[in-house]
Structure 1
Amino acid sequence: MIATLSLLAAAALLVSGCGAEASTPKDNALLVPELNKLLPQKVRDSGVLTVATDPQYPPCDFTNQSGKIDGFNHDILMEMAPRLGVEIRQEGIAFDGLLPGVQSGRFDAAMECITDNLERQKTVKFVDYAYATKSVITTSENKHGITANPLTTCGLKAGVQTGTEFVEDAELFSKNCKSEGKDALQITNFPTAGDQNTALQSGRIDFAFSNTATGVWQAKASNGRFKVIPSPLLSRTYVGIVVDIKADDTAKALLGALEAIVKDGTYGKVMSKWELNDIALDKPGINLATERPLELPKICGSCGS
């Protein structure tokens, strides 16, 4: 399981850069030829599938103390590689460049606990492999008394990372505050998760929005200096590997590899290793936000109190 780190070490992991990280398929016995044939010819010719990530979201993706990309997404990809019969190479970039990088053809795919939603499905396709829950994160002192009641955040300074679904979440919180005659959130956008975390630690913001698994990891890594708070205004979602909207065969290949590791138990072992069984998705699929929609949160006033 993830080693406990000092606050400074955790921060270093969250803000450090990284190069490419790759897998090499070693076991031809695991190859599923039908899946390999679905991959683009350029991928089959090169033997490399390039997957972009923003490695600042442990335990999804992060740069470990050896300077290599790590996380449960990394482990899933490494197990998918031999089924596809290609090397999977991860490259670290900023989050807001992930989807454009796939759309432009710079990357074959992107994977970084990216939420599958209807708006994003207009431009890309998702191969969903897990659930995600979201939470509010603040310092352990919680000096403003934030609780699961979303009205306790009204008027406070909130941090979100540019390009993430948390931008829309913060807007929903503000609308909820206004519906009760309270002040909206004072929202600051940050280019990276590291910048957001620094602002939270320094007191420039009062709280931030986070993937729950990432928030829990951060709280553990900092010896309890952060507090993770659930909210009924933050939904459970699907997260998926992103491919170009026209890349139907690539999506089918990735889905087939996921189904293979689910069926043989490898996927379950990865999720157990990272203590993420509660977000495991036993039936991966394509564009599940459309095909198997989950309930979306609505303005609810003081719900959660």
Structure 2
Amino acid sequence: MRHGNTLPSLVLLTTGALALVGCSSSAAPARKDAANAVKLGIPVELVTTTADGAVIKLLPADTGQKLVFGMNLTSPPSRFKDDKGKQVGFNVDIARLIAKKLGKDIKIEDTTFEAIIPGLQSGRFDLTVSSMSRTDERLEQMDMIEYMGAGEGALFKKGNPDDIQASAKTSLCGLRVAAMSGSYQEQTSLPETSKKCAEADKNPVKATAFPSNNESILAVSSGRVDAAIADTPVVQYAQTQNKATFESLIFDGTKSHNNVGLPKGSPLTPAVAAALQKLMDEGSYQKVFDKWGIGNLALTVASTKQTPVGQ
């Protein structure tokens, strides 16, 4: 992995503050300061682009001057807020570049991950750049455009006391495992793993849903759960920022592509796909991924159809 910047260490909350984080079999109430649950160093390089007339012509004539993106700003390093409340992260950077390439202003509305798809359907949001993987259920409700590689990883205490293995997700059987509410991990991956646990005559995963990845990470640190699972950048970032506390791994055979999401049949989809492809071709897209140390996850084609992923 190439690293565009070296980021300062992640500083976790004290044990007393960690006790405030909910832990249950269902999503805990969202905390107002969830996005600031960890203190993070942030790369400062500014990546820019210019509007493209040919891409702009693909927009419907009645498109407004502002594009509204829905994001849950609680998931470093993809989308979160710094200690001054500024919206940052590689998804935020990509969203800004898309809007700029389309000649539009941008508004990013902070919401929960679970509220993004309903917000797209209701017209509250025009699109989202929130590291969404494709599922059959999501494809029934959304247009999706591939924009980055991903995988599924686990974060756990240093020393790996529960012997979690990259080669076997069933090594999570019987463990307390956190995932973000509404995520692929919570809705699909952990239930499927529990089924495999039952087939192997093992105890199911004791899954706990948290409103944000930050809170899942804090639950691992506090000992409320044994591990957290999330997309590759989330677990890698948390581990590299606090090597004395965490270890992480990426499960074998879980590589996939994450997607920009729009309402099903959105007239904006062709223009957004074209804008993203232009960003890839000109190099500004790659600069964003290098800036955040995830250059190896960059793609070269902004496909509206699922493309093969090499494992």
Amino acid at match of 1:207: A
Q: 1:244 aligns with which of 246, 253, 263?
A: 263
Query: What is the rounded CA distance, in whole Å, between the counterparts of 1:271 and 1:198 in structure 2?
Result: 25
Query: What is the rounded CA distance, in whole Å, between the counterparts of 2:169 and 2:96 in structure 1?
Result: 39
Q: Deviations along 1:97-149, whole A, 9 cap, x unmatched?
A: 01111111001111111112222100111122111111111111422222223
Amino acid at match of 1:77: A
* Contact kept? 1:60, 1:71, Cα under 8 Å: yes
Q: Give 1:270's aligned residue.
A: 288
Query: What is the rounded CA distance, in whole Å, between the counterparts of 2:179 and 2:12 in structure 1?
Result: 21
Q: Secondary structure at the match of 1:56?
A: coil
Query: What is the rounded CA distance, in whole Å, between the counterparts of 1:262 and 1:231 in structure 2?
Result: 28
Query: What is the rounded CA distance, in whole Å, between the counterparts of 2:13 and 2:280 in structure 1?
Result: 34
Q: Give 1:154's aligned residue.
A: 173
Matched, 1:183 2:207: no
Q: Give 2:130's aligned residue.
A: 112
* Contact kept? 2:158, 2:247, Cα under 8 Å: yes
Query: What is the rounded CA distance, in whole Å, between the counterparts of 2:11 and 2:66 in structure 1?
Result: 36
Q: Which moved more, 1:188-197 or 1:8-17?
A: 8-17
Query: What is the rounded CA distance, in whole Å, between the counterparts of 1:95 and 1:181 in structure 2?
Result: 33
Deviation at 1:2, TM superposition (A): 5.3
* Contact kept? 1:35, 1:257, Cα under 8 Å: yes
After superposition, residues 71-150 of structure 1 pair within 5 angstroms as 71-148=89-166, 149-150=168-169
After superposition, residues 194-205 of structure 1 pair within 5 angstroms as 194-205=214-225
Amino acid at match of 1:4: P
* Contact kept? 2:153, 2:229, Cα under 8 Å: yes
Query: What is the rounded CA distance, in whole Å, between the counterparts of 2:70 and 2:78 in structure 1?
Result: 13
Amino acid at match of 1:59: P
Count of paired positions: 279
User: Residues 9, 50 of structure 1: CA spacing in aligned structure 2 closer, same or farther, 3 A cutoff?
Assistant: farther
Structure 2 portions without partners, runs of 5+: 19-31, 38-47
Query: What is the rounded CA distance, in whole Å, between the counterparts of 1:102 and 1:56 in structure 2?
Result: 19
Structure 1 portions without partners, runs of 5+: 18-25, 297-305
Deviation at 1:16, TM superposition (A): 3.0
Q: TM-score of the superposition, structure 2-length normalised?
A: 0.82
Q: Secondary structure at the match of 1:241?
A: strand
Larger strand proportion of the pair: 1
Amino acid at match of 2:296: D
Matched, 1:56 2:60: no
Q: Deviations along 1:36-88, whole A, 9 cap, x unmatched?
A: 243355543xx110101111222211112332111111222222233201112
Larger helix proportion of the pair: 1
Matched, 1:208 2:228: yes
Identity of aligned residues (%): 24
Query: What is the rounded CA distance, in whole Å, between the counterparts of 2:33 and 2:241 in structure 1?
Result: 10
Amino acid at match of 1:3: L
Amino acid at match of 2:257: Y
Query: What is the rounded CA distance, in whole Å, between the counterparts of 2:6 and 2:127 in structure 1?
Result: 26
